[in-house]
Structure 1
Amino acid sequence: MGELCIHSVLVTGANRGIGLGLVRHFLGMSNPPKWVFAGCRDPKGQKAQELQNLASKHPNLVIIPLEVTDPASIKAAAARVEEQLGGSGLNLLINNAGIAKPSPLDNETLENMTCVYTTNTVAPLLLSQAFLPLLKKAAQGSPGSALSCSKAAIVNMSSSAGSIEEVYLWDYGQVVSYRCSKAALNMLTKCQSLGYREHGVLCVALHPGWVRTDMTGGSESLTAPLTVDESVRGMLKVLSSLSEKETGTFLDWEGKVVPW
């Protein structure tokens, strides 16, 4: 399967983990995007140091200040990206930013539920709304009517922890707020696929696998089996192969269907 062939991509939560891994892989493609937009909360902060280092070496990498729970920040980011694109559209929006607040069912709180749901579910809704005009523009500028990630797509980073059928790794961690937010994100993806199909925008929910990141943590006895690199390579291969029949689906990093 060939690489994705895109002019532009925006990755949220791009300063670490899977987001940073995605940025690295886009920059390292044999035919890299003309623009890679990396959204992060504090571009000049210590946590964005690796992104800053990459930007100093890759003029096609633009770091975008973005607090995904702040509508004003989202609006400013969309304006900044539109200005940089100079009349062309955005091919790929990857809603990767996410948080988890581990707590068992009995101790789950209103604050946890609201905070996690806002970041993991509401933010992808607001971001997709804000960037839809640019996605539509990319779709209109691509030949043919078939949907693909090379044309225009929204990729929502989900998790099989949000699968109601699987309830992945329940014994490892109940993380109720996280599970509920990802189950809701899956429904959002389905709704987006129905609402945005007419605009030529493909929408998919992706489970990156259980990846070793700062978020997943782990212990000596139970460590996530996938590296960021393995997960990202797999996901980009999946994205390069998606077509109209996969819009609105829930897939993992190997392209396998994850049960709702």
Structure 2
Amino acid sequence: MDPRLRLCGRWQKSTRTSSPSSVWVRDASDLRSIRRATQRVGAALPPGGLNLLINNAAVLPRGGLQTTSPEDMQSALHTNVLGPANIIKEFLPLLRAAVRAGGRAGMSCRQAAVVNISAFLGSFPSIEETYDFLPAISYRMSKAALNMLTLCASTELKRDGILVAALHPGWVRTDMGTQEADIDARESVEGMLDVVFSLNEKDTGTFLNYKGKVIGW
């Protein structure tokens, strides 16, 4: 087993859950759901706070400007941007507790870090290369906004010793990515683990792909 995945086993043991995973936020756009999850996680965590917060929930409306509805735009912005913003805000006390408990110099996911799962489609330089293939204007707008959230949060939370970065998982063969995608979920996850566990203070406020390459905003 990848030794980094043993962290999940230690989390399961420490929280006394019998299942491999627990769904504690059922709607990432619902502030009440997020606050309930924060309370449950805080109660379940061992002393020392929360070291790593990953914002991964997303929706992907695929239409272009002429076919995208206001509802599509609202859904993408609520789930892909407002959700992560509220999650970071509500979990901030647990992240700060991890910094205090860690007592380490510098920044890393072993101290306190936020990783926002973004997408190359939210990168401005990606338009010419990808737009005809997948317009997805609502999704692109939301991921560009998530990238700005990453920059703002990294600037604001640097004083707390909390690292914040955005990560592109690649084009992955999932329900969202379709079976035409370049890589499978295992390759994506293993690559992201390598990147996440190598992050340090020089990486806060950056946008990286699953291989650790910097992506232009």
Q: TM-score, normalised by structure 2?
A: 0.91
Matches of 1:116 and 1:230, distance apart in 2 = 26
1:147-184: per-residue Cα shift (whole Å, max 9, x none)?
00111111000000000012252222100000000000
1:132 to 92, 96, 104: 92
The alpha-carbon deviation at position 145 of structure 1 amounts to 2.3
Matching residue of 1:173: 134
2:11 to 35, 39, 42: 35
The alpha-carbon deviation at position 111 of structure 1 amounts to 1.1
The alpha-carbon deviation at position 90 of structure 1 amounts to 0.6
Match runs of 1:19-168 below 5 Å: 26=5, 29=6, 32=8, 34-35=10-11, 56=18, 58=20, 61-167=21-127
Gapped runs of 5+ residues in structure 1?
A: 5-25, 37-54
1:230 to 187, 207, 216: 187
Contact kept? 1:235, 1:254, Cα under 8 Å = yes
Q: 1:33 to 1:140 in 2, by over 3 A?
A: farther
Matches of 2:91 and 2:25, distance apart in 1 = 15
1:150 partner SS = coil
1:121 partner SS = helix
Matching residue of 1:182: 143
The alpha-carbon deviation at position 3 of structure 1 amounts to 5.6
Task: Indicate the structure with greater helix content.
Answer: 2
- The one-letter code sitting in structure 1 at the alignment partner of 2:141 is C
Gapped runs of 5+ residues in structure 2?
A: none
Q: Percent identity?
A: 42
Aligned residues: 212
1:192-227: per-residue Cα shift (whole Å, max 9, x none)?
000111111100000000000111224xxxx10110
1:95-132: per-residue Cα shift (whole Å, max 9, x none)?
00000111122112211111101100110000000000
Matches of 1:124 and 1:237, distance apart in 2 = 23
Matches of 1:249 and 1:207, distance apart in 2 = 11
2:103 partner SS = coil
1:165 partner SS = helix
Matches of 1:197 and 1:33, distance apart in 2 = 30
1:132 partner SS = helix
Contact kept? 1:140, 1:200, Cα under 8 Å = no
The alpha-carbon deviation at position 65 of structure 1 amounts to 4.1
Matching residue of 2:166: 205
Q: TM-score, normalised by structure 1?
A: 0.77
